[in-house]
Amino acid sequence: MTLRLCQTEKFKTEMLSLSATLPIQRDQTYLTSLLLSVLLRGSERYPTVSAINRRLDYLYGTELSVRNFYRGDSQVFGLCANVLGKDYITDQAAAETLLSQVVGLMRELLFSPALDENGLLNAHYVESEKQLQCDTIRARKNHPHGYALDCCRRLMYENEPCGVSIYGTEEEVMRVTPEVLTAHWRTLCKDLHLHAFYVGASDAESVKLTLATAFETTPNPVEANTPTGAVISLTDPASIRPHTPTLVREEELAVKQGQLVLGLRTGAAIQSEDFFACALFNELLGASPVSKLFVNVREKLGLCYSCSSAYNAYKASILISCGIENENRELAEREILAQINAIAAGAFSDEEWNAAQKSMENAYRQLEDSPVGMENYYFGRALVGLSVDPTLACARFAALKREDVMRVAKGTQVDTVFFLRQVGGEEEVCDDED
């Protein structure tokens, strides 16, 4: 176990996450997703959801959530707890032991689940969560915006590990038995390395002692902004599909609004020297209300209902998505590419440049306004062996030159285009945020 800690008295709550990372594997990822859901159904001492919730209520309303997502070509999974700060608990004895009790519950849920007389995970829980995971898979099409983004991602990364769905297919999930899932759980437990991340007022030694007592191990404590080496895998260049020709796919769905998604390769991952320039490029392009895509494609030309971009620094890619009418597809795509070329040519005003810089600096300053923001930032960078304090990051953005962003824009290429064509229109469009 490795402990990272941000000691601060800014918040009324403390946050502790326990995470592990695994390389994405087609025959394992969906099993881990299913396993997390089953583990949250019951443990040895708290065998039902009701019993777990009663325990959380007793622990001053502690909130417990599952984390399960991709970072680069790795899966990050585990539990996260938000706990009332001990300065806000009148019972001093309870305040001193609250975090240790929460850690004990997290440990039990992960490593002491409810097992039957044969030592297998509860069959009822497994079947129930299989159905729910299948419901999640089927429900993707109920959110056209997110569905189109997901389709573009899978096409773009089809030769890469993260092109695999984190929930698998219905057929894969329904084949899972209690025996298979229990074996997967035991395999994970055998060699698991946990990353503990704490944000709160307690000092490193007390948090270390709490974890050591609960897990019977001695965590290696490091400062939150201290790099300790990469622990997740990023993109293998050999697995990237060649940019030419651009992969174009289309699908029809009964929605009232078509969805156009462009997947771009930037070559600037989070570890790259061009990371800050690429993040600012994305801000100029489509990440803010004063961006090129919003102002020109949506507002001035009226080619779409929405238009924005999102930068995945762990995959060195940008996804541009817009909701459009079918007849505007070619015009919208052409104008999106024109805005990319405009930035590459330096055709952006000082006002646009200053607004993008201020927006990025403000976003980084706001990271330390919440425990979740701090954990996401520091832990995400620790996973790739980086250490960049948000204040220093703001300085990096302020020091960027126009030529830096122009260079990144020139090196950006369209990899994949996916269009979800509207037909019929019986379905209501869901304003989904991915």
Q: What is the pLDDT of residues 351-407, one digit of tens each?
A: 999 999 999 999 999 998 999 999 999 999 988 888 788 999 999 999 999 999 999
Least confidently predicted of 32-46, 129-143, 219-233: 219-233
**Looking at the predicted structure, is the pLDDT value of residue 220 above 90?**
no
pLDDT range class, residue 256, cuts 50, 70, 90: confident
d(CA 386, CA 264): 24
**Looking at the predicted structure, is the pLDDT value of residue 229 above 90?**
no
d(CA 307, CA 286): 7
pLDDT range class, residue 305, cuts 50, 70, 90: very high
166 by Cβ neighbours in 10 Å (0-12 / 13-18 / 19+) ranks as middle
241/157: higher pLDDT: 157
* pLDDT (0 to 100) of residue 239: 63
Mean pLDDT, residues 206-215: 92
**Looking at the predicted structure, is the pLDDT value of residue 233 above 90?**
no
Q: Which residues are within 8 A (CB) of 91 and not within 5 positions of it... i.e. 6 or more apart? A: none
* pLDDT (0 to 100) of residue 238: 61
What are the b/e assignments for 340-360, b being 16+ CB within 10 Å? bebbbeeebeeebbebbbebb
Give whole-number Cα distances, 377 to 166, 363, 364, 400, in Å: 22, 11, 9, 21
d(CA 118, CA 127): 17
426/211: higher pLDDT: 211
**Looking at the predicted structure, is the pLDDT value of residue 261 above 80?**
yes
**Looking at the predicted structure, is the pLDDT value of residue 156 above 70?**
yes
* pLDDT (0 to 100) of residue 299: 93
pLDDT range class, residue 228, cuts 50, 70, 90: low
Least confidently predicted of 72-76, 225-229, 294-298: 225-229
Mean pLDDT, residues 238-252: 81
Taken in order of first residue, the domains within the chain and their CATH numbers are 2-223 (3.30.830.10), 237-422 (3.30.830.10)
**Looking at the predicted structure, is the pLDDT value of residue 433 above 90?**
no
Average confidence score pLDDT of the chain? 91
Tens of pLDDT along 75-97? 999 999 999 998 899 998 898 99
* pLDDT (0 to 100) of residue 424: 76
Among 86-95, 208-217, 314-323, the range with the most confident prediction by mean pLDDT is 314-323
* pLDDT (0 to 100) of residue 191: 82
Q: pTM value?
A: 0.90
**Looking at the predicted structure, is the pLDDT value of residue 432 above 50?**
no
